[in-house]
Amino acid sequence: MSKIQATFERLQAQGRQALIPFITAGDPDPALTVPLMHTLVDAGADIIELGVPFSDPMADGPTIQRASERALLKGVSLRQVLGMVANFRADNNETPVVLMGYANPIESMGIDDFAATAFDAGVDGVLVVDYPPEEGAAFAHAMHANALDPIFLLAPTSTAARISQVAALASGYVYYVSLKGVTGSTALDVDAVAARIPEIRSATGIPVGVGFGIRDAATAAAVARIADAVVVGSRIVETIEQSTPENVCANVHAFVSELRRGIDGGKGQHG
């Protein structure tokens, strides 16, 4: 059983939902990434999504684009990101880590080389934004062959056929993009999300995480009532952007703790 599956099963037994925060590796500085990862866990994260910086992150809004740019200016590469995960694993072998990024750096490294190196580093899942399921079979096979969960995106525009394609390949969880647009958008319609979740659950049988547009504890609580996991990225990256190296961990801890309290206080029917 993967760490991700075990985490969701433990939470389900407790009647709780997962909190999955996102940060970009190398932002604001490579030396702060591992401390920030530990900060996320201390504040209540169940799974960490670690963004691999990329020059053209087309699904991401300006906030995460700027984070990628800052990390790339520091020279952060995919291999360095894997090294950060290995360093995190020196002190934490329990919290699942999902790499989130784009196909180009992985294909430059070679999918099989990447999968083996990611497993050795302690990565648990990989979400590649620009691998649609129609083109993702080889990627998913390489991930499964190395005991990694391939995680796919679904969106409000996803058809029943697309949901079935994802169901055939995905493990760990499905990431449901809660709105049309890029990360950091603000117009989240929780009722519209709630209407789609049962269809996805019935097709996949694996947990459904919801992200994009979750910017505060109240929205996180509302999403937690309908989903298995709440994914928050842009708002955390904004907190990092607005902090100094001296106070960034404290500021991120305060915000993520607030999300955790919202999710746990707003929990409803699970599954």
Contact 95, 41 (CB under 8 A): yes
Handedness of CA 265, 215, 88, 4 (dihedral sign): positive
Residues 6+ apart with CB under 8 A from 134: 165
Closest CA to 238 of 21, 4, 3, 20: 21
Secondary structure E strands in 146-237: 149-151, 153-154, 174-177, 208-211, 229-232
- Residue 29 tokens, joined: 């500085």
Catalytic annotation, residues: 49, 60
